[in-house]
Amino acid sequence: MNASESRDIPLACEVEVLVLGGGPTGVAAAVAAARAGRRTLLVERYGFCGGMATAGMSGAICGLFASGREHRYEQLAHGFAGEFYHHLKLRGGAAQPVPFGETGIVVHDPLVWKEVADDLLGESGASILYHTLATDVVMDGDAIKAAVVENKGGRFLVGASRFVDATGDADVCFRAGVPTAFGRDGVVQYATMAFRMSGVDVPRACAHPPALVEEWIAAADGAGYVLPRKHIYLLASPRPGEVLCNATAVFKPGGAPLDATRAEDLTFGEIAGRRQVREYERFLRDRVPGFEKAFVNDTGVQIGIRQSRTITGLGRLANDDVFKARKSARSVAKSAWCIEAHGADGIFLFYLDNDYYDIPYDALVPERVANLITGGRALSAEHEALASARVTAQCFLTGYAAGHAAHLSLRDRKPFADVDVTELRSRIEYAV
């Protein structure tokens, strides 16, 4: 909307940096901007941070480590990703790393994740406003003047000089008129309703080779069970007797993926997802040794969305950048995470062979709007490239880069497009 349309909406406050969304990207961005001394507010629709990592119960931090069997527990992603991991470990909220193909992952406890985020935000000096949804923006030429936010108290404006869209779905970019894309020709990855099971004999339950579990599922599907996904992840959580189950594949009748920007699709997905959880629970208990006495203790707060809108950025992470492990002098994040694309044909996996690729700053900077930046799963990327770059460690890294870029862009009175990326890289401990 323009300034005259927003005339009757009260101004709640004004800050220097407004971060919309409190997933891994938003937490990192708000901490970075606040640590740089900027008056920063993070607005989040739920009552906690973490986004898909907590509400979606993604369950594990991917992207922390190198790729290649002998290197799979060597940390590659440092900076804020390493810092957050460190705090999770200190509080007992991270399990020992476990293998994931050629690389490694760390299962985390969602409650501890939320607590670490609260504390790091608090210590940084960033303010938080939970239970508040960003619904629109007020434009002033090619810049955003204020975000329109709504909560139980009504509809308000929050004015800011720089905006970080960390909604995961590029909601703010979309409202501001940034061109967005939606997967490959409109086809995004399948959603998952993640769940945890308690009462598990974990050493037995997690010892089965994934290919064997896949065979058991294939044999059971259609023979008394409905199990649309065959390749599933059963991961020991940091809590005793508990396994994180990333097992369901939720899609619309006919096989089309959910569109996370449509409440109708999400509603369908929540209900279908919960039903599917019960079906996998029954299968695991009946057919997988170690789960005999197990029960679902909870599901994600919401259906897990891997992908929706992505921005059209000044630069773009191309599929070949990942396939060919390309490096960039303008990199703000490294990744050795595989391409892990969940879709109608199952899960497409491509591992980097003892190498990593770079995510360039320009993939975070949207076209058209001078004082807006994004990161995480909304960055500008081709479909398969995003299926790698979307994971938590890289969301932390790109989010932190976005938050610090907000500071530099304010200091130098420049649009995000003209931020000195060499200085940014030195400030975000890129090389550490």
Please report how close the Cβ of residue 410 comes to ligand FAD at its closest, in angstroms: 22
How far apart (Å, rounded) are the C-alpha atoms in residues 196 and 243?
6
Give the number of other Cβ atoms within 10 Å of residue 426's Cβ: 11
Token pair 């020992």 is at which residue? 96
Nearest residue (CB) to ligand FAD, 167 versus 276 = 167
Which has the closest alpha carbon to 320: 352, 354, 344, 342?
352
* CB-neighbour burial class of residue 292 (10 A; exposed 0-12, middle 13-18, buried 19+): middle
How far apart (Å, rounded) are the C-alpha atoms in residues 124 and 34?
6
Q: Which residues contact 368 (CB under 8 A, 6 or more apart)?
A: 142, 176, 177, 178, 179
Please report how close the Cβ of residue 413 comes to ligand FAD at its closest, in angstroms: 28
How far apart (Å, rounded) are the C-alpha atoms in residues 172 and 375?
12
Contact residues toward ligand FAD (CB under 6 A) are 20-26, 43-46, 51-53, 56, 58-63, 133-134, 166-169, 171, 192, 194, 246, 304-306, 376-377, 390-392, 395
Nearest residue (CB) to ligand FAD, 174 versus 283 = 174
Nearest residue (CB) to ligand FAD, 297 versus 426 = 297
Please report how close the Cβ of residue 195 comes to ligand FAD at its closest, in angstroms: 10
How far apart (Å, rounded) are the C-alpha atoms in residues 412 and 414?
5
Reading the block at residue 76, the tokens are: 């590659």
Please report how close the Cβ of residue 52 comes to ligand FAD at its closest, in angstroms: 3
How far apart (Å, rounded) are the C-alpha atoms in residues 6 and 3?
5
311 with 369: CB under 8 angstroms?
no
* C-alpha to C-alpha distances, 373 to 132, 376, 378, nearest whole angstrom: 20, 11, 10
Nearest residue (CB) to ligand FAD, 150 versus 221 = 150
Please report how close the Cβ of residue 333 comes to ligand FAD at its closest, in angstroms: 12
Nearest residue (CB) to ligand FAD, 195 versus 291 = 195
Nearest residue (CB) to ligand FAD, 300 versus 360 = 300
Please report how close the Cβ of residue 123 comes to ligand FAD at its closest, in angstroms: 20
Please report how close the Cβ of residue 394 comes to ligand FAD at its closest, in angstroms: 8
Which has the closest alpha carbon to 234: 201, 188, 257?
201
